Structure 1
């Protein structure tokens, strides 16, 4: 059982170390910036939708 576990750990390490292509620092920073910008845009869209629904509900209940 221990031998199988150690073999699995070694295989996982080898795959991560030698077979996986990791992004460069430049690619990683560029991707992170894109994700942050997309997150802000989505948050703004949700905020605007929430404000519209809130005002609509206030209008409906004030009648």
Structure 2
């Protein structure tokens, strides 16, 4: 009985992925990937700047 339920679930999942899911085009995927890479680079630069500011502040505080 459980095997039958598992097969039914797999079949329903396949049908939903095949017929009901809208997949992005290659152009949309490339555009989204570029957007994610640019956003990640900007966030990395912001974190780097914050890290440098805190590092210099700590060196200034502990230099006394």
Q: TM-score under structure 1 normalisation?
A: 0.98
Q: Residue 15 of structure 1: CA displacement?
A: 0.5
Q: Residue 47 of structure 1: CA displacement?
A: 0.5
Q: Give CA deviations for 1:5-53 in whole Å, capped at 9, x if unaligned.
A: 0000000011011100000000000000000000000000000000000
User: Deviation above 4 Å: which 4+ runs of structure 1?
Assistant: none
Unaligned runs of 5+ in 1: none
Partner of 1:33: 34
SS of the equivalent of 2:23 reads coil
Q: Are 1:6 and 2:18 matched, yes or no?
A: no
Q: Residue 4 of structure 1: CA displacement?
A: 0.1
SS of the equivalent of 1:52 reads helix
Unaligned runs of 5+ in 2: none
Partner of 1:21: 22
